[in-house]
Chains A and B, each alone.
Chain A
C-alpha cells in the first residue's frame, strides 16, 4: 500500500491537532496565571475558587471531562460544537496543572526580595507584578514546556468526540488500508516532530526570558 497518497490527509489532520493544541494552550496560559496568582496572593474567596478549579481538573480524568462537556452538558441545555469542546476541556485541564506551576514559581522567589520591595515602599500589587512575577517567569518555563508537550499528546483524545485530528485520521486510514505499522508509525513521527518543535520554541523563549532578566549575559 502506498502511504504517500494518504500523507497529505494525515498532515492536514495534524494541522487540526496543532490548532487545537495552540488554542487550548492560549486558554491554559491565561488560566494558569489567573489561578496561579490567585492561589499565591488572592483574597480568601478567590483562593478558594482557584483551589477548587485546580483540584477538580487535576483530580479527574481528562477523557471523562471531555465526555462530560460533550455528552452531559447538552443534557443540561448547553450544547457546544465538538471543536470548542475539545479546546475547552484541554485548556481547562492544562490550565489547572499550569496554575500549580505558576504558584510554585511565585513561592520560590525569596522572602528577601519581598522585604526589599517593602523597604522601597512598593504596594503588594506592585511587588507582585514588578518584582516577584518577572523573577519567577524563568522558573516556570521548563515546566510549561513539559505541559505544552503533554497538552499536544492529550489532543489525541479529542478524536473520541468526532474531531478529525491526527489520531482520528490515522485510525480512518488504517481501517481503509489495513497498513497498521506504516500508518500509526507515521502518526507517531508527526506527533514527535510537533512535540520537538514545541520544545525548541520553548527553549528559545527560555533563553530570551533569561537574557532579559539578567540570568544570562
Chain B
C-alpha cells in the first residue's frame, strides 16, 4: 500500500519570509523522489509540512486523497489534531538527528507507538519489531539504549521505528548528514533495500548526489522555495537544462 501526494499552489512563510511560493509537486504512489538543492531552499520544509510538523498559509495539500485542511474548514488554517491524526497514520519520517527516545531500549522504541497508537498487542508489536531489527541488521541491539549505539546504528533503528507504523509514505530528511563519513554507507544500504523491496512512496532530502541518482525515480532541484527543474536522475545529472541546476551540480560534484 502506498499513497500519492499532491501540493497545489502552496505558500509557506516564516513571518514575512517566504519559504515556499506557488509550490506544486505531485508524487505518484510508490514513487521515490529526491529533493536536492542548496541549503535554505525549502527542501526540508516540504517534508516537515507533509509530516504536519509545520502549518502552511495558502494552497492545498492532499495525501492519498485526504486534505490537510479540515473538510469544509476554512483555509489557510491547518486542520485539527483529530483530522491530522488520520493524515499522520499514513506518513512516517526519518530525521537528520535520529530523534530516538533516549529513555527507552531499542526494542521499546519500536514497540511503543504500534501498541499505543495502533493498538497492537505487545506480542504482535514485538514480533514485528524483531523482524524490522533483523532487516536493518541490528538484531543484537534490541536491549541496548540509543545512547550506546553509533550514529549509523541509531539511524537504522530510527528507520525501523518509522516502518513499524506501516506508513505508506516515508520521508527522509537528510538521513546521513549528521553521520561520520564511514557510517553513511550502512544507512544508505538500508534505504536502498527499502526502495527496492517495499511498496513505499519515498521522499528524500539529501546531499548524497550519487545515492540520489542511484535510487530515485525522479530528482527535483530546489532553489528559493521552488522546484527549478525536475526529471529522471540521468537527465538531471547528465543533461540539466537550467543554468542554476548546472551551477549547483558542478559545485557539489566537483567541489
The chain A residues found within 8 Å of chain B, CB to CB, are 112-113, 115-116, 118-124, 126, 130-131, 134-135, 213-215, 217
Contact = CB atoms under 8 A, between A and B. Distances in A.
Given A130-B112, A214-B146, A119 B53 contact: yes
A115 B53 contact: yes
Given A118-B51, A121-B113, A217 B145 contact: yes
A213 B52 contact: no
A116 B116 contact: no
A61 B52 CA distance: 47
Contacts of B116: 122, 126, 130
A124 B53 CA distance: 13
B31 to A, nearest CB: 21
Nearest to B52: A118
Contact of B103 (A115, A124, A126, A213): A213
A149 to B, nearest CB: 27
Contacts of B85: 121, 123
Contacts of B70: none
Nearest to A119: B93
A122 B113 contact: yes
Interface of B: 51-53, 81, 85, 88-89, 91-93, 95, 97, 99-105, 112-113, 116-117, 145-148, 161-162, 165
Contact of A120 (B97, B145, B165): B165
B102 A115 contact: no
A217 B112 CA distance: 21
Nearest to B116: A126
B80 to A, nearest CB: 12
A211 to B, nearest CB: 10
B87 to A, nearest CB: 9
Contacts of B113: 120-122
Given A118-B53, A119-B88, A131 B93 contact: no
A112 B161 CA distance: 15
26 contacts: A112-B95, A115-B51, A115-B99, A116-B99, A116-B100, A118-B52, A119-B51, A119-B91, A119-B92, A119-B93, A119-B95, A120-B117, A120-B161, A121-B85, A121-B88, A121-B89, A122-B117, A123-B81, A123-B117, A130-B112, A131-B101, A213-B102, A213-B103, A214-B102, A215-B147, A217-B145
A133 to B, nearest CB: 10
B165 A121 contact: yes
Nearest to A131: B101
Contacts of A214: 102-105, 145-148
B95 A126 contact: no
B103 A217 contact: no
B104 A113 contact: no
Given A217-B147, A217-B148, 16 more contacts: A112-B95, A112-B99, A116-B100, A116-B101, A118-B51, A119-B53, A119-B162, A121-B89, A122-B113, A130-B116, A135-B102, A213-B102, A214-B105, A214-B145, A214-B146, A215-B147
